[in-house]
Each structure stands twice: as C-alpha cells, then as structure tokens.
Amino acid sequence: MSLTNEQYNSIMREYDEMRQRSIRESEEKVKRIYEKYPELKAWENRAITLKVQQSKAAMDGASREKLDEITDEITMLLVRRQSLLESVGLTDKDFEPEYECGECKDTGYIYDEAGVRRKCKCFIKREMEILYDQSGIRVLLQRENFSKLTYDHRSGDDLERLKNAVAICRKFVDEFDREYKNILFLGTVGTGKSFLSCCVAHELLESCHSVIYMSAIQLFERLADSRFGNTKEESREDNENIYGCDLLIIDDLGTELSNSFVASELFGLINERNLKRRSTIISTNLSLEDINDRYSERVLSRLTGRTGNYMLIELTGRDARQVI
C-alpha cells in the first residue's frame, strides 16, 4: 500500500499545477525577451522555415549545392542568435521552463538507466511527508529510533531478551515486503515495548510504507467515532487508514475501557488485517491469560495461533524510564 489513491492523486495534482505554472511563467519570460529583441524571433522563425524547405528539397532530389546553401544560411542565423544572447547575458536555458525539480521536470517520475520509470526523489520526499503526518508520531520518532537504542540499565536475562527483540525487529523490517508477519510485545511498563515499536515505525516510514501508530485508547475512540459519529465519507477514510495501512501499531492494549464493543472491534480489526495480510504490532502490559479473559478466547487465538502470524516477544526488567 503506502499512499491511498486520494493521497497519490493529490500529489499528482500538485505536480500538474507546479508544471503548468512553470510553463506559464516561462512563456511570459520568453514573450518579454522577444519584445525586447524582436530580431531573435525573426531569426528563429526564418531558421524553422529554412529547415522545412531543406527537408522538402531533399525529398524532391535537390542538388547537394542547394542543400548546403540552405544549411549555411541556417548556421548563419544560429550564430547571429547565439552572439546576441551572449551579448545581453542570456542563454538557451532562459527560453526553457524553470521547474522546481529539474530531474523530473515536475512530473514526479524519472527513467533510470535501464529505462524503468521510477519515482523521483522529490516525489518520495512528498510521500514521506504525508506518511509521517498520517502516522501521528513524527516528533516521537525523533527520539525513539534504532539510532537512539541503548542497552544501558539491562543485564543478564533482561539484556538477552532485549537484544533478541531488537534482532527480531530488524529482521521484521528487512523482510517486511517479502514476509507477512505481526508482533505482539508483552511485558511490564518501561521494558522497551513502545520504543521498539517506534524503531520499526521509523524504518518503515523512511522506506515510504504507511504506518499508523495509535494508543489503544485512541484506536477504540476512533473506531467508535467512525461507527457512530462521523459522516460516511469520514468513516470510510478512517477505516481505510486503520484497516489498510501497511503497518498498524496498537500501543498499550488493555489501557482502554473494557466492554463488548472493544472486544468485538479488536477481533474484527485483527482478523480483517490478517485477511488483507497487513502487518500489525501490538504492545501490552497484559499477560496472555489477561488477554483471554478481557477480549475472549478467539482474540487470543488470533494472537497466538498459526493463522495470526504473530511473533510473541516478551521483555522484562525494571522500568528504564525510572532509572536515573
């Protein structure tokens, strides 16, 4: 996935507006140049006429002398034009649109050496901006990513569990486009569950995958609002993002109010994303027994059974945020 169709179309409309604006500005600039130096336009028009005559003469079997005579006149006109441009400080680039991106000429796409059409760097930058804004954790990821990872305040089995979790998360990122997997983080407060979720989110956003990060409280409030409060259009957009993003991160499952609506929505969300093969990361302070009691056995089955493709990662240790 990555961008929705609506987001993609919005970017392409932006490119079209940029390109048309550059073309209009270029046409106005060239018009002013010709008004100031009318001989330039006359010479260019004459050169175009001569090239047409030359092509027609060649087709009619004209002599080499006749063709060379036309060529010489064209050359003379181009030399005059170039001389005038240099004398007034102009170049051929002054007659071309000044695109915001010179590589793709404000189309969003370039062709590589093999002739394959690819997104330009400027398109990828716009895409990343949208995805970061959509994720809801732009500021959080500045301080919570793999570059900020430290193993301080962990030792023994706690340290080994953390190192193993980091290895699993890195592999999860590396194989994201090839292997469908999900992660369930278990453990007490401050053991690194949310931090590692952010590390994964950062890496995938940097490679232009769509990521939605929400606390369990935010998620179920959004689902309730989508079900009972929003207009149909708003509901459709919310559901498309939550159910269809490349990676959904549900943080602190178990902190939301417990009721039948939450249990039903959680099962439906997990099941639907599994059917779509859209990856999910869930972090919780609850034990597996607690999950079973709070949300039902069928939810636990999706999280621990083979069909759910969830990797269970348990982190242990003191609350790192409380260590001075």
Instruction: Enumerate the domain spans of the chain.
Output: 5-99, 136-322
Q: What is the mean pLDDT of the chain?
A: 90
Backbone angle region of 274, left / alpha / beta, with phi > 0 → left and psi within -120 to 50 → alpha: alpha
Selection from 122, 97, 170, 92 nearest residue 12 by Cα: 122
Architecture of the domain made up of 136-322: 3-Layer(aba) Sandwich (3.40)
What percent of the chain lies above the pLDDT cut of 70? 94
pLDDT in tens, 278-296: 999 999 999 999 999 999 9
Q: What angle do helix axes 64-87 and 38-59 make, rounded to 10 degrees?
A: 160
Across 38-58, average pLDDT: 93
Of 12 and 244, the structure prediction assigns the larger pLDDT to 12
Name the least confident of 43-47, 122-126, 250-254.
Answer: 122-126
Across 116-128, average pLDDT: 89
DSSP 259: S
Q: Are strands 182-187 and 247-253 parallel, antiparallel or unpaired?
A: unpaired
Of 168 and 237, the structure prediction assigns the larger pLDDT to 168
Residue 188 pLDDT > 80: yes
Contact present, 242 and 184 (Cβ < 8 Å):
no
Q: pLDDT band at residue 233, thresholds of 50, 70 and 90?
A: low
Of 230 and 93, the structure prediction assigns the larger pLDDT to 93
What percent of the chain lies above the pLDDT cut of 90? 69
Give the model's pLDDT for residue 208. Answer: 85
Give the model's pLDDT for residue 222. Answer: 86
Rounded to 5 degrees, what are φ and ψ at 255?
-90, -10
Q: What is the torsion angle, in degrees rounded to the nearest 10, for the CA atoms of residue 322, residue 316, residue 308 and residue 286?
A: -60
Q: What angle do helix axes 260-276 and 232-244 make, rounded to 10 degrees?
A: 60
Give the model's pLDDT for residue 220. Answer: 93
Angle subtended at Cα 181 by Cα 177 and Cα 186, rounded to the nearest 5 degrees? 140
Give the model's pLDDT for residue 26. Answer: 96
Best mean pLDDT range from 84-98, 140-154, 213-227, 310-324: 84-98
